[in-house]
């Protein structure tokens, strides 16, 4: 029997496509149709979003200050420009760079799982901007300020035990009778 041989590009493409979850895509499609107040049809989510117009409408619905000027066109460069406008609006909304997909991920269906990740993250940041907007997936985590050096503000109570972390109150080699380059006595001489 001959061994099956594939190149790295094929393996990576298969891995990316295997991460695409149809259930999550259906949830995202439903969320988008709820935000836009219209049905999106029975096509696959990636096919619906490919020209970028739905994404631009979504960005304008979530953040009216985005004011994206998009065009519906069959020209590939216009469609990719629409997708790029959505990505810029998403970045301005606060999405971190690692949550954003690349234009080709959607346009050429290179990484549909990353597109879903962006939509889920977009919904969380949209909810943060406007709590009336529902969100997909888990809630967005808010950073809490660490208490710093003191556990109770202004009371001077240390948040940790100073001896536990090796602090010896200003001890040095001479005060602790540590001497280098001299002979060390093992037996105490009175």
Say if residue 31's pLDDT is above 90: yes
- What is the set of domains in the chain, with CATH numbers? 16-129 (1.10.418.10)
Q: What is the mean pLDDT of residues 94-114?
A: 91
| Cα-based distances in Å from 66 to 9, 17, 19, 102, 149 | 37, 31, 31, 20, 41
Per residue in 49-77, pLDDT (tens digit) is 999 999 999 999 999 888 899 999 999 99
The structure tokens listed for 94 are: 């606060």
**Which tokens go with 176?**
């602790």
Backbone phi, psi, residue 97, to 5°: -60, -35
Interval 131-160: pLDDT, tens:
899 998 888 877 776 655 545 555 555 555
| CB neighbour list of residue 32: distance below 8 Å, 6 or more residues apart | 40, 54, 58, 119
100 vs 190 pLDDT, higher one: 100
The answer to whether 49 and 87 have CB atoms below 8 angstroms apart is no
């Amino acid at each position: 029997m001959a061994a099956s041989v594939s190149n790295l590009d094929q393996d990576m493409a298969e891995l990316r496509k295997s991460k695409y979850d149809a259930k999550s895509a259906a949830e995202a499609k439903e969320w988008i149709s709820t935000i836009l107040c219209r049905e999106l049809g029975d096509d696959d989510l990636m096919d619906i979003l490919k020209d970028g117009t739905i994404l631009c409408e979504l960005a304008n619905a979530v953040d009216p200050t985005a004011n994206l000027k998009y065009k519906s066109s069959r020209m590939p460069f216009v469609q990719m420009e629409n997708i790029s406008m959505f990505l810029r609006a998403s970045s301005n909304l606060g999405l971190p760079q690692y949550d954003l997909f690349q234009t080709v991920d959607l346009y050429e269906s290179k990484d549909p799982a990353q597109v879903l990740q962006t939509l889920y993250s977009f919904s969380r940041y949209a909810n943060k901007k406007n709590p009336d907007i529902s969100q997909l997936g888990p809630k967005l985590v808010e950073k809490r300020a660490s208490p710093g050096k003191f556990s109770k503000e202004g009371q001077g109570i240390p948040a940790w035990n100073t001896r536990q972390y090796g602090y010896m109150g200003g001890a040095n080699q001479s005060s602790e009778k540590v001497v280098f380059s001299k002979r060390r006595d093992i037996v105490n001489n009175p």
